[in-house]
Structure 1
Amino acid sequence: MKSQRIAVAGGNGKIGKHIVEGLLEIKQQHSLEIIVLSRTHAPEGISYAGSTAPIIAVDYQDENSIQRVLNEYQIDTIISTLSGDGIAAQESLLRAGLAVPTFRRFAPSEFAIDSEQVKGVKFYNQKLPILRSLQEVKAERGPGSFEYTRFNCGIFMNYLGFGNTKPDGHKAHGYLAHFPWIIDLSKRTADVPGDGEKMIVYTGAEDVGKFVAAATQLEVWEEHSDMAGEVMTFNQVIRVCEEVCGVKFDVKYNTREDIVARMSPDLDRRAEGIIQFYLAYIDGDCDVKRPINLNKLVDVKPMTVREYLQQWWA
């Protein structure tokens, strides 16, 4: 059964806001009810494409607080985009939802590479408990009464926009943080784990929002909803960057030993996470291991890497 009354947790920023905008774009067409759950109330809500979603404050540590809101709006689907320290709150979200009669769908905060593939990365390890809980709930409730799916999109294409000098260049990032990932077009450099020949998924954040919105209107949710703007190797992406920018990049290829040598107890959490990701990529944990199914299930035409680069760097 399709989703009709949807709550987006953490939908007031980053990838969550892109998903809210994707839902608002189809809201009138499918007569959807959309709310945004946030730690703080914002009276203006989120407006996009002629529709608005209210932002409702909840205490993620208080299941009753969440349950009251979900029950009031008769929510049937929860999409979590909680990140950082908020990831643990997904358990409260799920338990609160299970106490609401209308609730039947849950999407945990994935929106990257499949967490179960990259268990050597602490950031992804935080996401594993909710996956186990979802598997247990689905087994207990039986087929048809509860569904969950993991929306995996690989690397956000928007990180390739870091440092562009277009007048509206900040829009290249969407609502995401501003930093380069592997490839820094502003410096014409790339810091590549391994030989750069393993396939990786790139998807624009705006397209992630469209994919997720379209997926809410599928009659059945598969446990994996893999999407892609494009599947390429890092070397292929670098070549396109060079073609669009018209200059050869300074590319450093790193062996596993090179990466391990960067480890230090003084690293901050982000730097540590980058090193862990590099090792996971070299070890094959980031490989594309399933067919990209969501591209075939919904009618979304995502932006390619070349199209993105031509928009922000040509």
Structure 2
Amino acid sequence: VAIAGATGHIGKTILDVLKQNQNHKVISLSRKASNGHDTHTIVADYNNIDSVADVLESNGVHTVISAILVKDDESSPSEINLVRAASKSRPTKRFVASDYAAPIPEEKQFGRILDRAGTAKELRQTDLEWTSIRVGQISDSFGIPHIKSYLPFRPLNVDVANKAAAIYGSGHDVIAYTYSFDMAQFLVAALDLPKWDEDLFCCSDKVTINEIVKLAEKITGGGLRIGPEFNVAYDSVEKLQRGEMTELPAYVESYSVVPKRILQVSFATYSLYAIDGLFDFPKENILNAKFPDIKTTTIEDMLNLWRNK
């Protein structure tokens, strides 16, 4: 198994879990040399398809797991070239796309989602068996910094540390949340499945934003507040459609990485996705049912880490 992007947030998470599995030998592909000594790391130039294909073939790679951060027109070709290299490598039969999110209909796609869609189109033109691990929303920010995570702290609607919440619509829409290390466990388990679908679903918990706020209030010992007059802010669909939503205190530290307007539009769009039911998964064809021994970390588990903090 080769992990591309193993030094990134998702890649390191998958690598940590995969190293504990004795069924698979793992190598890491990286644009830069790694200082780590416990995993065989190979520098890969994704602009050179033949070179990457040679790396995969010479190492007998059966499955490529992509964790390349696909975020713009520059990074998207890297993953597409990796697909082309995997297709040229004779021992390589399977490919996991770097699309660890919910499946979004084409007419609702924007930004990074559009960039990642190019990989799926390329994969459909190959003979590779491939999949995307579908997680709904990643839940790590509910537990950071009290839970192990390599992901950046970027809470969407509930800012536990600052006791603030912005509820979209009615707040009754169900969301499938997945802790990053649970996702990695399901992915590694799925490597042994005899057949893959294009989408493999998993989740750690299914809850509504109202239920999360109620739990957080109970655990932190008081109402969540935004400003001096509001316990919770409610954002209407009309407001979200304008690309606006209530600013939580935790957003401010993200503006140095993501400009305020872009973050607002993105988070408002994700909130609309939730209202449209795009972050809820059917119970059938879910990896949780195939691997019942994998114990997941629920939202309540994460919020409980905030007790007495």
The normalised TM-score by structure 1 is 0.83
Q: Give 1:140-159 correspondences, 5 Å limit.
A: 141=127, 146-159=128-141
What percent identity do the matched residue pairs reach? 26
- For 2:286 and 2:278, locate their aligned partners in 1 and report how far apart those are by CA, in whole Å: 19
Q: 2:123 aligns with which of 115, 134, 159?
A: 134
| 1:36 partnered with 2:18 | no
Map 1:292-311 → 2, pairs under 5 A: 293-298=286-291, 299-311=293-305
Query: How far is the alpha carbon of 1:37 from its aligned partner?
Result: 1.2
The 5-angstrom pairing of residues 56-95 of structure 1 reads 56-83=42-69, 84-85=71-72, 86-95=75-84
Q: Is the 8 A contact 2:138 2:179 kept in 1?
A: yes
Structure 1 vs Structure 2 CA RMSD: 2.2
Tell me, in whole angstroms, the C-alpha distance in 2 between the residues paired with 1:154 and 1:220.
22
Partner of 1:48: none
1:103 paired with 2:92, answer yes
Cα deviation, 1:164-209, whole Å, max 9, x if unaligned, reads: xxxxx3x525100022221000111111221111111111111111
Determine if contact 2:76/2:118 at 8 Å carries over to the other structure.
no
Aligned length: 285
The aligned residue for residue 202 of structure 2 is 227
1:290 Cα deviation from its structure 2 partner:
6.0
Structure 1 residues 214, 117: CA separation in 2 closer, same or farther (over 3 Å shift)? farther
Q: Distance in 2 between matches of 1:204 and 1:288?
A: 15
Find the aligned partners of 1:200 and 1:297 in 2 and give their Cα distance.
21
Which residue does the alignment assign to 2:263? Answer: 270
Question: Matches of 2:107 and 2:213 in 1, distance apart?
Answer: 24
Deviations 1:147-179 (A, max 9, x none): 1111011222211134xxxxxx3x525100022
Partner of 1:49: none
Name which of 232, 237, 244 aligns with 2:219: 244
State yes or no: 1:19 paired with 2:14.
yes
Which residues of 2 match residues 192-211 of structure 1 at below 5 A? 192-211=167-186
Pair 1:254-2:246 in alignment: no
Q: Matches of 1:66 and 1:230 in 2, distance apart?
A: 38
Q: Flag structure 1 segments of 5+ consecutive residues without an equivalent.
A: 1-5, 46-51, 163-168
1:268–1:72 distance in 2 versus 1, CA, 3 Å: farther
Indicate conservation of the 8 Å contact 2:244/2:265, yes or no.
yes
For 1:25, what is the secondary structure of its paired residue? coil
Task: Kindly provide the amino acid, as one letter, of the partner of residue 157 in structure 2.
Answer: I
Q: Which sits farther off after the overlay, 53-62 or 117-126?
A: 117-126
Judged with a 3 Å threshold, the aligned counterparts in structure 2 of structure 1 residues 269 and 60 are, in CA distance, closer, same or farther, namely farther
Q: Establish whether residue 53 from structure 1 lines up as the match of residue 39 from structure 2.
A: yes
| Aligned-partner Cα distance in 1 for 2:113–2:45 | 24
SS at structure 2 position matched to 1:68: helix
Query: How far apart, in 1, do the equivalents of 2:295 and 2:137 lie?
Result: 17
Q: Distance in 2 between matches of 1:269 and 1:63?
A: 33
Q: Normalised by the size of structure 2, how large is the TM-score?
A: 0.84
Find the counterpart in structure 2 of residue 280 from structure 1. 273
Contact in 1 for aligned 2:102/2:278 (Cα 8 Å): no
Partner SS, residue 156 of structure 2:
coil
Give the drift of 1:267: 4.8
**Does the 8 Å contact 1:59/1:65 carry over to 2?**
yes
Give distance in 2, aligned partners of 1:291 and 1:37: 34
Q: Which runs of 5+ in 2 are unaligned?
A: 225-230, 246-258
Distance 1:102 1:115, change over 3 A: farther
* Deviation of the 1:291 alpha carbon: 3.2
Amino acid at match of 1:14: H
Aligned AA (2:266): G
Q: Deviation digits for residues 229-258 of structure 1, max 9, x if unmatched?
A: 001111111122122212122321211222
Change (3 A) 1:120 1:194: farther
Contact map agreement 2:240 2:268 (CA 8 A) in 1: yes
1:242-282 Cα offsets, whole Å, 9 max, x none, are: 22212122321211222234459x85543332222223333
The structure that is strand-richer by fraction is: 1
Q: Is the deviation greater in 206-215 or in 274-283?
A: 274-283
Q: What per-residue deviation string (whole Å, max 9, x for no partner) do you get for residues 107-126 of structure 1? A: 11111212447833322121
Distance 2:305 2:114 in 1: 35
Q: Is the 8 A contact 2:273 2:279 kept in 1?
A: yes
